[in-house]
Amino acid sequence: MAKERRQEKPKPRPIEEIRQEIAHTRDRLSRDLTGLRYELDFPLKFRKSFQQSTRTWISAAVLTGVAFTARMASRTKKTVTLKTKGGQKAKGEEQKKGLLQAGLAMGILRLAATALRPVVVAFVTKKLGSYAGRVT
Does 25 share its domain with 66?
Answer: no
Rounding to the nearest 10 degrees, give the CA dihedral for residues 107, 112, 118, 120.
-110
pTM value is: 0.35
- C-alpha triplet 70, 72, 73: angle, nearest 5°: 65
Number of domains the chain is built from:
2
Domain span including residue 129: 54-71+89-136
Alpha carbons 125 and 128: distance in angstroms, whole number: 5
Of 79, 83, 66, 71, the residue nearest 117 (C-alpha): 66
> Residue 5 — very low, low, confident or very high, per pLDDT cuts 50/70/90?
low
Does 59 share its domain with 38?
Answer: no
Tens-place pLDDT, residues 20-72: 999 999 999 999 999 999 999 999 998 999 899 999 999 999 999 988 888 88
Could you tell me if residue 7 is inside a domain? no
Predicted pLDDT at 31: 94
Does 21 share its domain with 37?
Answer: yes
